[in-house]
Structure 1
Amino acid sequence: MRWAARAAAVATALILVAGCESESEKEKEKEREAAAAGAAVCLKDAKAAQLPDGFPTNFPLPAGTIVTSAENRGDAGLVIEGVTNTAFKDVLKGLQDDLPAKGFTLKNGETEPHDAESDWTSAEFDGRWAIREMSQCAGETSVSVVARKK
């Protein structure tokens, strides 16, 4: 009887800890999203950055995109952030149409009302793009792309 009670107590504790870890991870993800949203620059304040050396030149950035940040993060890839005054739904459709037309394969995508992302692959690169409707910049969309050389 004591053994069963102890086993139940341990199981309950493990479930609670797992739940806390899960909630902690959810909170961390929310913080990352908030930081990314806070880091987004409206077009009126955008200062152009150059694409990092080695970024896939045939990647079809949405029309009017100004790259505001570009980094080479070594093994993590080449990362760019940008902004465009093209509406979110048009940016989404453009990426979904233009990437395959340029030889990129989309996979593991997810679309929500105000943001979307997808992994992608090409002959030379693997990567991920993400777009977000910018509530603080009416009608503008943030664009993020990661590209890793194969």
Structure 2
Amino acid sequence: MTVTRAARVAAAALGLLLLTAGCGGSGAASGPEADADLTAAADTSTCLSDAHQVSDFPAGYPTEFPLPDVTVVYHVEDRGSEGVVATGVTKAAFPDVLSALNAAKSAGFKVTEGETEDHDAEANWTGNGYTGRWAIKESTTCPGETVIQLLSKKI
């Protein structure tokens, strides 16, 4: 199936709306609506010590997406045609998580565009029959931990 430019733009816009982790860069969703979407996705203040691994993932989640070692995905939300939003936390430091997610191309997931700031980053990606967006940020409540949110949609 060929993905049209309009579909890619729509997926990117949806990802930006759902997963922007509070960055102030241009094009970033902001305001009460964007904050409400993030809050609805999951509580990003969960620490690794309190996180419980999700065992059942919806069909729209790319189980082969390479998250950093010792990442606990503690919340998954199937939003139907909008895709799946997964939230996890890892003990890996922010720069290591950023490197790992950017290196996902070795598993067939290519970053198509993104933005990195001092304490958070986000990027659109595509690969292995999926499209989506990831967002990471240093945990504000759990020193040394990084929160990961992954939007994925089967294409």
Q: TM-score, normalised by structure 2?
A: 0.72
Q: Work out which of the two has the higher radius of gyration on C-alpha atoms and give 1 or 2.
A: 1
Residue 122 (structure 1) aligns with: 127
Deviation per CA, 1:63-122: give whole Å up to 9, x if none.
Answer: 11001101211011011100000001100011111x110111111201011110101001
Q: Structure 1: which 5+ residue stretches go unaligned?
A: 1-24
Aligned with 2:138 (options 130, 133, 136): 133
- Distance (Å, rounded) in 1 between the aligned partners of 2:106 and 2:89: 22
Deviation per CA, 1:7-45: give whole Å up to 9, x if none.
Answer: xxxxxxxxxxxxxxxxxx743267448847x81211111
Residue 66 (structure 1) aligns with: 72
| Cα pair distance change 1:49/1:31, threshold 3 Å | same
Letter in 2 for 1:80: A
Q: Structure 2: which 5+ residue stretches go unaligned?
A: 1-28
Identity of aligned residues (%): 41
Higher helix residue share: 1
- Distance (Å, rounded) in 2 between the aligned partners of 1:26 and 1:102: 32
Count of residue correspondences: 125
- Distance (Å, rounded) in 2 between the aligned partners of 1:49 and 1:34: 19
- Distance (Å, rounded) in 2 between the aligned partners of 1:71 and 1:33: 12
Residue 13 (structure 2) aligns with: none
Q: TM-score, normalised by structure 1?
A: 0.74
Structure 1 moving runs of 4+ over 4 Å? none
Residue 113 (structure 2) aligns with: 108
